[in-house]
Amino acid sequence: MTPKDVWSDLKPSLRKHYSEKIYESWLKLLMFEEFSAGRVYLSVPTRFLRDWITNRYLNKLLTLWQEAMPGVHSLEVLVKASTEAPVSETSSPAVNAQASRAPDPQPVETRPEKDAPAESRLDARYTFDSFVVGKPNELAYAAAQRVADSKTIYFNPLFLHGGVGLGKTHLMHAIALHIKEHHPTRKVLYMSAEQFMHRFVRALRHKDILSFRDQFRSVDVLMIDDVQFISGKDSTQEEFFHTFNALVDKKKQIILTADKSPTELKGLEERVRSRLGWGLVVDIHPTTYELRLGILESKAETLDIEIPAHVIEFLAHKITSNIRELEGALNRIVAHATLVGQKITLDSTQAVLRDILRANEKIITIEDIQKHVAEHYNVRVSDMHSNRRLRVVARPRQIAMYLSKKLTSASLPEIGRKFGGRDHTTIMHGVKKIEDLVSEDSAFAEDIYMLENILKK
Ligand code: ADP
Ligand code: MG
């Protein structure tokens, strides 16, 4: 079999190895170019596709090649501008053979989608009203309201950033919903950066770039969610940059979100990065106890079931990761109580949420403890394992043993091993010593208490 034949066999099988969608969007355009000195060269029509495929699918593709043809040791994807008009593979014989085998040879994706509305669905629950404001998000909230309510452009773009599940998408939707209701003549377009990219790639494929651009450039407010997604993707970034500039020139509002600030986003071209930071950059901070409490209370009000205050406090206290998880936890205990027809109690809450609660617990390791204690008492971490008996060294070591016993689930022999292979009785002795000191000496106790809190943070 020639390498070309191998490819004709291999390519249709990619539909099975990946999803239909991945195949249709990316892999379908791969063509065999040549095989030389153990290296297979495939090609795609754009640089973007090359990068995308190389980053995500190359290893697996190589493995598949090697299975089919053991002489292959590497694989490279080249860019080869397609000379034939529209990139449609139905004219190639290899693909005809494959089409007769595939169940659905004409996927909907290949239809031009000029007429389809470019906008993503807005979630009607994500309003300003349902957004609970607290210290971590008050600035973002105020900026979002300002943008939603005024025709004057105060800052362009508005760039909201923060970790996952902290309310960026919620605020974006709130702005869009507000404008639709109160300023219906303003044209708003909301989409994720991923959708932006998909549409862009599709437009490239259908040679439909002009209408793609028109769609974007005729709006009054453009919102792109999660722009970190376009970093590293050169041609999408380039297109995004031009769209951005065109809208800024026309004095149209742009609103963006990302998981990091423009300066921290990796893989962005410098000019794109600096442009993103031109307007107002606001971050949404991690939640505080008060905000979590407020959110839980406001969600609980909308439910038909009674949730005891101490359960709400317990959740606000324990689930600190993000708001999405907090909501998920609440929904779960409500669903459980409804299903089994019982009241919500602290016990049932703890049982139902065991896995989430565990994941939210900070895991403290013996190494963490040794490091912090050594820092605190200004001794070397190596002294935690050493045999030096000097009080200035031995005492911190005992403190670290005590904290290891108290804050981790390690057994005494395990702790002993981490302290230079000491016997478990030595550990027990050290723990006892510190317990005594804590009960006798309040200044000492305070010191230990402080260390404990540092470690728990
Ligand atoms: P992000 O886009 O930052 O990852 P989302 O906007 O998707 O986060 O928020 C995750 C979930 O938490 C959503 O269901 C959202 O409604 C909810 N949420 C986030 N912040 C708040 C808030 N301040 N008040 C009420 N609900 C919130
Ligand atoms: Mg989001």
Mean pLDDT of the region 192-213: 90
What does the pLDDT average to over 240-258? 93
Confidence of residue 290 (pLDDT cuts 50, 70, 90): very high
Q: What is the pLDDT of residue 47?
A: 73
Ligand nearest to the CA of 173: 1
Q: What mean pLDDT do residues 139-160 have?
A: 93
CA angle 210, 211, 217 (to 5 degrees): 90
Single pTM value for the model: 0.61
Look at residue 171 and tell me whether its pLDDT is greater than 80. Answer: yes
Q: How far apart are CA 65 and CA 173, in angstroms?
A: 45
Which residue owns the Cα nearest ligand 1 atom 6?
Answer: 167
Looking at the CA of 127, which ligand is closest? Answer: 1
The DSSP element (H or E) to which 99 belongs, if any, is helix 93-101
Q: What is the pLDDT of residue 231?
A: 85
For ligand 1, is residue 105 a contact (CB within 6 Å)?
A: no
CA neighbor of 287 nearest in space, from 165, 160, 453: 165
Q: Determine phi and psi for 237, rounding to 5 degrees.
A: -60, -45
Element (H, E) at 275: helix 270-276
Which range among 15-19, 108-112, 194-198, 440-444 shows the weakest confidence by mean pLDDT?
A: 108-112
pLDDT score of 330? 94
What is the per-residue pLDDT for 16?
81
pLDDT of 105: 31
d(CA 125, CA 184): 19
Distance of CA 78 to the CA centre of its chain: 30
140 lines ligand 1 (CB under 6 A): no
Ligand nearest to the CA of 194: 2
Ligand 1 atom 25 nearest Cα: 131
Which tens digits make up the pLDDT trace of 113-122?
Answer: 333 334 568 8
Question: In this predicted structure, which of 18-27, 205-214, 247-256 has the lowest mean pLDDT?
Answer: 18-27
Share of the chain above pLDDT 70, in %: 91
Q: Which residues, by Cβ under 5 Å, contact ligand 2, an ion?
A: 168-169
Q: Tell me: the pLDDT tens digits for 349-375?
A: 999 998 888 877 777 899 999 999 999
pLDDT (average), residues 188-211: 91
Distance CA 412, CA 428 (A): 7
Residue 39 φ/ψ, nearest 5 degrees: -110, 130
pLDDT exceeding 90 applies to what percent of the chain?
51
pLDDT tens-digit map of 291-349: 999 999 999 998 888 999 999 999 999 998 899 999 999 999 998 998 888 999 999 99
Query: Which residue is closest in CA terms to ligand 1's atom 21?
Result: 167
Per the model's pLDDT, the better-predicted residue between 57 and 162 turns out to be 162
Of ligand 1's listed atoms, the one at least distance from the Cα of 225 is 2
Check if 168 has its Cβ closer than 6 Å to any atom of ligand 1. yes
d(CA 70, CA 295): 58
Distance CA 412, CA 416 (A): 6
| More confident: 83 or 340 | 340
pLDDT digits (tens, 9 = 90+) for 401-439: 999 999 888 899 999 999 999 999 999 999 999 999 999
Could you tell me if the CB of 169 is within 6 A of ligand 1?
yes
